[in-house]
Amino acid sequence: MKKAALIAMLLFATMSWAGAADDYSTTAHVTDSRWVFGPTSSGFVLYPRLDATIDGKKYELQAYNFSGNIRVIPILALGDYKAKLIQDVHKNAYEYSQSYEFLFADGKTRKFLVIGQSE
């Protein structure tokens, strides 16, 4: 009975992970990765900023936050990442607000806000 329960748990966990990975069906091609300073109520903070092509459109993306050791400031490597649209607000025909979540190879995710678009 314990073996059957363990097998069922492992099977369910595998299926859940596979289903979650399928949610990231969009490819974000990152062509530029850098850090910028942004103001906060208590001073300035560093934000990762990216240029990426998603569904044929060129976007400038900024991470929501960064909670790491600023003595070792990693930049995101250029290339393709699995992504999913997590916010898509269109209040009228000429303005929108979007956010994407990237899924990395190690299973970690990071959210990015669309802060610019170019042709």
Closest to 26 in 3D by CA, of 63, 80, 76, 75 = 80
Q: φ, ψ for residue 72 (rounded to 5)?
A: -120, 95
Positions in the chain whose pLDDT score sits under 50: 4-19
pTM of the model: 0.76
Which residues are registered as beta bridge partners of 49? 34, 62
| Span 28-62, pLDDT tens digits | 999 999 988 877 787 777 889 999 999 999 999 99
